[in-house]
Structure 1
Amino acid sequence: MAAGRPGDPTAGRVSFADYVNENWFPNYVLEASTRQSYRGGLDRHIVPWFGSMKMRDILPTHVREWVHALEAAGVSAANIRQQKIILSAVFATALNDS
């Protein structure tokens, strides 16, 4: 509001998991096979790491730590790239929603 944009000032207080599961995923338009792939990535790689964090508290350093953890766990570079695409879509929508 102070920046001159409308929005809910409490939106960033929701946990990542709640935002993804209650707002983003149910409303994000995807082909059926892509939806299944995204759900798998969210459940296996993304929500376990960011789920309990408040949306407003997630910083680039957290994303870098997550990528390093995926690398250390042996996740392939192609899979990490796909997970980053999903995460980016979540954050882009959250920013537009705020």
Structure 2
Amino acid sequence: MTKPPAGTKTALEVIMAWVEQTGQHSWRVRFRRLNGTTSSIPGFPTRKIADHYAADMETDQRRKTWIDPADSRTTLADWAQQWLPAQDLDPRTIDNYRSYLHCHILPRFGDTALGEITTLDIDTWTKQATDADYATATIASWVKLLSMILTDAVDQHLIPTNPVRQRRRRGRRCRALARERVWATPEQVLRIANQAATLGGPTARLLIITAAWTGCRWGELAALHRDNLNLDTGHL
């Protein structure tokens, strides 16, 4: 179970936006937060476009969908540093997450602002890992962790959407067929069992034969007792 990192926002903090001219053909939208600080979004070529953006900003605030540009500039490394200690998980899981972050995720995305991580970036990263012969399941574990981190960033109004969830599976990996399983014939099972007996004794031979003809898993085989066998009916 995850919980928001301490000190992160649970509600939007901007209360007012207005437009200022900064040059002959340039305008900016300024806004004031509840904590008294102000910021601006420059680069509008006309006042009309800037006014529309300011109006949309206030509408998005009422809908609780507007993202403060300062928050989306938070780097993944800074967000992960807040995110990981807030996770209420098994210590071994935390150790795995820390390893994934420091060895694979942060070297690629650590210095990237949350709002600048794109679906294409993630696709490129996973393809490079595939080309480097990392297992598909291993790469999927990294992507799953990255998605969890970015999903919580969405919940904290740091970014509008999670780019991992926008990915579409395509390419050779989607068309790859599962490998056909190879099953041993009865004769091969007996040869394997006899070879095992030379190394592990008659018990090893019996375990292999029992597993092959019953489908028991190792835990079930190890737990078998004499009273589990009915010689009269031939049932185990």
Q: TM-score, normalised by structure 2?
A: 0.39
1:19 pairs with 2:19: no
Q: Is the 8 A contact 1:16 1:53 kept in 2?
A: yes
For residue 43 of structure 1, the aligned residue among 102, 118, 126 is: 102
Gaps of at least 5 residues in structure 1 are: none
User: Normalising by the residue count of structure 1, what TM-score does the alignment of the two structures yield?
Assistant: 0.90
CA shift for structure 1 position 29: 2.1
Give yes or no for the alignment of 1:58 onto 2:117.
Answer: yes
Q: How many percent of aligned residue pairs carry the same amino acid?
A: 24
Give the partner amino acid of 2:78: D
The residue type equivalent to 1:13 in the other structure is R
The residue number in structure 2 matching 1:75 is 134
Q: What is the RMSD computed on CA atoms of the aligned residues?
A: 1.6
Match of 2:93 among 34, 46, 49: 34
**SS state of the match for residue 14, structure 1?**
coil
Q: Is the 8 A contact 1:7 1:97 kept in 2?
A: no
SS in 2 for 1:82: helix
Larger Rg computed on CA atoms:
2
One-letter amino acid of the counterpart of residue 143, structure 2:
K
Highest RCO, 1 vs 2 (Cα 8 Å, sep ≥ 6): 1
Count residues in correspondence: 97
Q: Which amino acid aligns with 2:72?
A: G
Name whichever structure is richer in strand by fraction.
Answer: 2
Q: Which amino acid aligns with 2:119?
A: P
**1:84 counterpart residue number:** 143
Higher helix share: 1
